[in-house]
Amino acid sequence: DTAKPSNFLRQIIERDLEQGNFAHRRWAGRPADAATHQAGEPDPARIRTRFPPEPNGYLHVGHAKSICLNFGLARDYGGVCHMRFDDTNPEKEEIEYVEGIKDAVRWLGFSWDAHGTSHLYHASDYFDFMYRAAEYLIEAGLAYVDEQSPEEMRANRGDFSRPGVDSPYRSRSIEENLKRFREMRDGKLADGAAVLRAKIDMASPNINMRDPALYRIKHAEHHNTGDKWCIYPMYTYAHPIEDALENITHSICTLEFEDQRPFYDWLMDRLREGGLINPPQPRQYEFARLNLTYVITSKRKLKQLVDEGHVSGWDDPRMPTIVGLRRRGYTPESLQLFSERIGVSKANGWIDFSILEAALRDDLDPKAARAMAVLDPVKLVIENWGDLMGGDDALDECSAPVHPHDESRGRRKFMFGRELWIERSDYEETPPKGFFRLFPGNKVRLKYGHVVECIGADKDASGNVVRVRAKLIPDTKSGTPGADAVKVKGNITWVGVADGLKAEVQLYDRLFSVPQPDTGEKDFLEELNPESLKVVTAYLEPSLGSAKGDEKFQFERHGYFVADRVEHGPVVGRSVFNRITGLKDSWTK
């Protein structure tokens, strides 16, 4: 059951701390590297984790899990988590993405300023070391330059049913390999003409051990190293080295990398034997990546949604990106809670979206101010109001607690009058069974206000209700003595016409209409939910007039809403709220 938290990583860390398994980690490589690569003194007996995104897009909810996990473990065990940009690919790194990633991590509540350093790590800073480590492997007879064509290489790698075939270049001399590798480095060979491969075992049952590529030729400019290099390390070669140079103790990654672990260890063992890294070496641990129902977590596909205009941007409130979730109204605390609840698992599975929504509700319920809002408004007219109150324009102040469990937060005030906005669905001419709200002859309480008895409704030519009519039952105002003498089964929310505020409310729903998008035959674009956004004009109680962008509320009966951090506010001159999620328990009749 992937929804159950598991502590296997914590158990490993606790065991390691107890046994002192990574105490006295110290740089033993070439001193020049130690100076440039290690920020500050090594920390004996302190765990080090890392979060290593590739800056090629905005982070999503899956990354949030990884961030909470890596930074959270470091925090909980007095360790350090490195913020590392994994930029070994010479693709154009976008500053926008780098900044977006930093913002997301900070917003989630984590910092990489632990223990007096606020150092950002970049994998590309280690290119010199990686290159020298590659020459070392060649010198030790553990790597060779292969000049087979990519097709030949693929064919000769074999598959699960048959062993691979040795490349004719596998038996080259060390001298020839070194010379050829330097020619690769010096730009003498074209892209794809050769690769440096580890010499391990072409018959290994683990295909990743069949002489994996370490370096490829790519005549491309790198944002950090410019045109210094035209060969770039492969991720599987680079990553363990990055971990080792940063004294990472627990290198936590997703399950896809499980089959890479033997190579990770092979490389670390060989470099340790060669004196390039010191024991104890970093260890890789895998956990199941987050798959969330109704959500896609592939940066490439999320980018496609943005580029093709299926959403308004990376921060569209329907996007599972951290900026999207934030704009939707999710809080850092809710995402941390979610990450804790789903725990870490060794088995891939799907986490139900409702677990994320429940975490949001559990976070907001004790915090969010309450308010009344009418999302599908129709007018209710109290016909005897003027007679009872001494004039049609008379108003009667009502109030409700800002938070039902915290009196100290005070009360919100709003005006009851002759005309009120109510939900269209609260009136039925012919009530279905079990309907206790407004229908001719029935009495209901207008929450925090008075009891009214429905008289009927006026309709337009096409039969739509344009106005519901009622009469007030005297001496029933909430909070006054004897108010409960008249028993009613229905209790409905409302907003006064006199002091109600008009606002735009964006009713968001799931971006995809199928629980496991992008897993079947269909193109994922065909699985988009056409009703993922409905914008309505609503009326809100006056207390919401001072709502600031990003402020969250519980709209009674409707769920949790946030003032849109981009579109709402006096500067833009608009009042825009987003539905984050509905209430757990649907409105009881």
Which residues carry a binding-site annotation?
Answer: 54-56, 86, 235, 254, 289-290
Which residue, 259 or 531, has its beta carbon nearer to Mg ion?
A: 259
354 binds, among Mg ion, ligand ATP, none (CB under 5 to 8 A by kind): none
CB of residue 1 to ligand ATP, shortest distance in Å: 18
Q: Which of 2, 17, 62, 508 binds ligand ATP (CB under 6 A)?
A: 62
What is d(CA 292, CA 45) in angstroms, rounded to the nearest whole number? 36
Q: Which of 179, 289, 341, 447 is catalytic?
A: 289
Q: How far is the CB of 253 from ligand ATP (least distance, A)?
A: 5
DSSP-derived 3-state class of residue 115: helix
In the bound complex, what is the minimum distance in angstroms from residue 188's beta carbon to ligand ATP?
32
Q: Do 399 and 416 form a contact (C-beta atoms < 8 A)?
A: no
- Residues near 391 by Cβ (< 8 Å), separated by ≥ 6? none
Residue 310's binding partner out of Mg ion, ligand ATP, none, with CB under 5 to 8 Å set by partner kind: none
According to CB under 6 A, which residues from 284 to 343 bind ligand ATP? 289-290, 297-299
Distance of closest approach, residue 297 Cβ to ligand ATP, in angstroms: 4
Residue 353 near residue 582, CB atoms below 8 Å: no
- The distance of closest approach from Cβ of residue 515 to Mg ion in the complex, given in angstroms and rounded to an integer, is 23
Helix axes 235-245, 127-139, angle to 10 degrees: 110
- From the CB of 224, what's the least distance to Mg ion, in Å? 18
Query: Of the two residues 66 and 543, which places its CB atom closer to ligand ATP in the complex?
Result: 66
Stretch that binds Mg ion, among 51-59, 114-122, 170-178, 456-464 (CB under 5 A): 51-59
Tokens of 570: 């006096």
Strands (E) in 41-159, as ranges, are 48-51, 80-85, 120-122, 143-146
Min. distance of Cβ 85 from Mg ion in angstroms?
A: 12
Binding residues among 473-512 for ligand ATP as defined by CB under 6 A: none
- 556 catalytically annotated: no
**Given 10, 54, 139, 272, the catalytic residue:** 54
- Under rule CB under 5 A, which residues in 519-538 are in contact with Mg ion? none
**Nearest residue to Mg ion, by Cβ distance, number only:** 54
Tell me the two tokens of residue 201.
Answer: 């075992």
Does the footprint of ligand ATP cover residue 63 (CB under 6 A)? yes
Q: Is 459 a catalytic site residue? A: no
In the complex with Mg ion, the residue whose CB is nearer, 54 or 91, is 54
Cβ atoms 470, 463 nearer than 8 A: no
**Which residues, at least 6 apart from 121, have a Cβ–Cβ distance to it below 8 Å?**
39, 50, 82, 83, 84, 85, 242, 246
Residue 90 contacts which entry, Mg ion, ligand ATP, none (Cβ below 5-8 A, type-dependent): none
Listed ranges 47-55, 261-269, 342-350, 461-469: which one lies at the site for ligand ATP (CB under 6 A): 47-55
Residue 404, token pair as written in the block: 């039902």
Choose between 67 and 495: whose C-beta lies nearer to ligand ATP.
67
Q: How far is CA 561 from CA 119, 369, 536, 572, in A?
A: 37, 10, 13, 19
Q: What CA–CA distance (Å, rounded) separates 480 from 486? A: 13
Answer with the entry of Mg ion, ligand ATP, none that 171 interacts with (C-beta below 5 to 8 A by kind). Answer: none
Pattern 252-291, ligand ATP, x by CB under 6 A: -xx----------------------------------xx-
Output 54 or 550, the one with its CB closest to Mg ion: 54
User: Residue 463: helix, strand or coil by DSSP?
Assistant: coil
d(CA 440, CA 437): 10
* β pairing state of 552-555 and 533-540: unpaired
What letter would DSSP give residue 292? B
Q: What, of Mg ion, ligand ATP, none, does residue 240 touch, CB below 5 to 8 Å by kind?
A: none
* 216 assigned to active site: no
From candidates 25, 37, 46, 65, binder to ligand ATP by CB under 6 A: 65
52 binds, among Mg ion, ligand ATP, none (CB under 5 to 8 A by kind): ligand ATP
In angstroms, rounded to a whole number, what is the distance separating the alpha carbons of residues 277 and 121?
A: 18
Given 299, 361, 412, 552, which residue is catalytic?
299
d(CA 332, CA 338) in angstroms, rounded, equals 10
Segment near ligand ATP (CB under 6 A), from 11-19, 51-59, 329-337, 510-518? 51-59
Alpha-carbon span 27 to 50, nearest angstrom? 18
Closest residue by beta carbon to ligand ATP = 62
CA distance 442 to 511: 40
Report the largest interatomic distance among the alpha carbons of the chain, rounded to a whole angstrom.
106
69 or 444: CB nearest ligand ATP: 69
| Strand-strand pairing, 231-233 and 419-423 | unpaired
- Residue 419 contacts which entry, ligand ATP, Mg ion, none (Cβ below 5-8 A, type-dependent): none
Give the residue, chosen from 52, 329, 343, 490, that forms a contact with ligand ATP under the rule CB under 6 A.
52
Query: Residue ranges for the binding site for L-glutamine?
Result: 86, 235
174 close to 186: Cβ distance less than 8 angstroms:
no
The annotation places the binding site for ATP at 54-56, 254, 289-290
Classify each residue of 387-418 as buried b or exposed e, where b means 16 or more C-beta atoms within 10 Å of its C-beta: ebbeeeeebeebebbbbeeeeeeeebebbbbb
Contacts with ligand ATP, residue ranges (CB under 6 A): 52-54, 62-63, 65-66, 253-254, 289-290, 297-299
Contacts with Mg ion, residue ranges (CB under 5 A): 54
Which residues are part of the catalytic machinery?
A: 54, 289, 299
